[in-house]
Structure 1
Amino acid sequence: MEHLIFLHGALGTAHQLEPIANALKGEHQNHILTFSGHGGSEIPSKMIISNFAEEVINYMDKNNIQSASFFGYSMGGYVAMYLAINFPQKINALATLATKWQWNPEIAKKETAMLNPEILKEKVPAYAQSLILLHSEERWKSLLSATSTLLTDMGNAPPVKNEDLEKVTIPVMFCLGDSDRMVSLDETKETQGLLKNCQLSIISSTKHPVETCNIIDLTKFLCTFFGIIL
């Protein structure tokens, strides 16, 4: 493996994945991307999974990366799977953490209910403040709105469909925290069963937020999966 590309989750940035990337420093080259609209950058007119995937392809082309292995956290894993389906020549292997695969209007409505900035400031002010620090005072509310639209669109027309997953042949590993309340073990196993070459690893003492990840556990699984020698 020459290149390992890291993709962050919704409302995240590359900065959040640096501890994981730093724990996986081997002979390969790590690349940590930040999607458009995140990290204080200008919010795109339309935030959709296919555009994020195009950003990854553009990055690879610009840096002369013919193909790479991927680690995607939450939405980042979803984007990477979209790449595996639509650009199979670009992706060699894929590991995900805490990615939600099953989307419909009801699920999207539930997930977007927590993306109201005023509710966040009242109910979880520390999280609201962290979003301001990540994405700027000027743009964090706009990012919440754009993300809400993105998730609603995913619920109405999932970019990754079950029949698409059945065509994926690259090695895949789903990682899931044992205390994740957003992504269930049952739905993860259901999606795992659609893939030809997918394994499941449970990360101990880990909730959904990537900051809670047991990096020692995760690193062990990722090194084995990707064949990384530290």
Structure 2
Amino acid sequence: MDLNTKIKGQGFPILCLHGHPGSAASMSVFTNYLSQKYQTIAPDLRGYGKSQCQQNFEMREHINDLTTLLDKHQIDRCLLLGWSLGGIIAMELALADSKRFSGMVLIATAAHPLSSHPRPTRQDLLFTGIGGIINYLKPGWQWNINTFGKRSLFRYLVSHHSPESYHYLAKEGTPAYWQTSKAANTALSTAIRQGYNRLDDLHRINIPCLMLSAECDRHITAYSSQKTAQHLKNCQYKNYPQVAHLFPWEIPDLVLADIQKWLDQFRFGKE
């Protein structure tokens, strides 16, 4: 599939992969910064954003799409950066062709993802819908955050209910949610039901890796992220306290500083 793709900057390429629901636009917290020194390539995955797909597909087709994308742009070597589902796909790409990738940044993800998310109540769904609509129309409004946001499912996505994180939710999270196709939802739920687990295969990945997780992540627990990091041969791991699954939107400056420190350590593209 010919994926809709946003390319920014010049330099050593970084393939930036969004989560579920998500889109290339929802990776701006990374691409706006990293494109100052690198070339960032952020596609809408199959069934997401403007890469619409109505027919059912399996998760492995993401790998074929992305391999085709790299070939199209004649990218023989690059870095991987994946958030949530994007991190799982990044690991799958590295397992499929490790020689093509120089390193990997994994964010709120796991090779055997475990969730501690409670079953949503009717009030959760109602308050999430109302709060999401109001936030889309008036991003970061403190009254809405206090009245609906903190009492909705947003409380499992962010711990710092700051106007900044709610601006990200309005500008990038809500549009990505509405643009996620039924086929994409089906593909992910099928993989989860089948018990996705690639921990035993991670020993085949030898490239440098950075794993970042959140203490309060209920979607993909910090425990499962840490366990993944332990199975990777060359992985640095950091767990941020008092933040949740969308922590790059809660503490963007800290996250970007840690990624930059890791990039500087290995001098990718300069070896």
TM-score by length of 2: 0.69
1:119 and 1:44 map into 2 onto residues whose CA distance is 31
User: 1:7 aligned to 2:45?
Assistant: no
How many percent of aligned residue pairs carry the same amino acid? Answer: 19
Could you tell me which residue of structure 2 aligns to residue 209 of structure 1? 246
Helix, strand or coil: the match of 1:4?
strand
In the alignment, is the contact (CA less than 8 A) between 1:205 and 1:213 conserved in 2? no
1:199 and 1:51 map into 2 onto residues whose CA distance is 29
Alignment of 1:99-138 (within 5 A): 99-103=109-113, 122-125=126-129, 126-127=131-132, 133-134=175-176, 136=178
Could you tell me which residue of structure 2 aligns to residue 173 of structure 1? 210
Could you tell me which residue of structure 2 aligns to residue 28 of structure 1? 38
Of 178-187 and 164-173, more deviation after overlay is shown by: 178-187
Of 78, 83, 98, the residue aligned with 1:88 is: 98
1:108-167 Cα offsets, whole Å, 9 max, x none, are: xx87x76xxx9986351144876763365xx65x43x64144233233152x52221121
Structure 1 counterpart of 2:194, one-letter code? N
Q: Which runs of 5+ in 2 are unaligned?
A: 1-10, 137-169
In the alignment, is the contact (CA less than 8 A) between 1:206 and 1:212 conserved in 2? no
2:57 and 2:124 map into 1 onto residues whose CA distance is 21
Structure of greater Rg: 2
Of 221, 226, 229, the residue aligned with 2:263 is: 226
In the alignment, is the contact (CA less than 8 A) between 1:203 and 1:217 conserved in 2? no
- Sort the Cα spacing of 1:92 and 1:211 in 2 relative to 1 into closer, same or farther, 3 A: closer
Structure 2 counterpart of 1:27, one-letter code? K
User: 1:164 aligned to 2:206?
Assistant: no
TM-score by length of 1: 0.80
Of 209-218 and 173-182, more deviation after overlay is shown by: 209-218
Could you tell me which residue of structure 2 aligns to residue 185 of structure 1? 222
Count matched residues: 218
Q: Which runs of 5+ in 1 are unaligned?
A: none
In the alignment, is the contact (CA less than 8 A) between 1:178 and 1:204 conserved in 2? yes
| Alpha-carbon shift at residue 211 of structure 1 (Å) | 6.2
In the alignment, is the contact (CA less than 8 A) between 2:79 and 2:103 conserved in 1? yes
RMSD between aligned residues:
3.1
| Alpha-carbon shift at residue 210 of structure 1 (Å) | 5.6
Structure 2 counterpart of 1:133, one-letter code? P
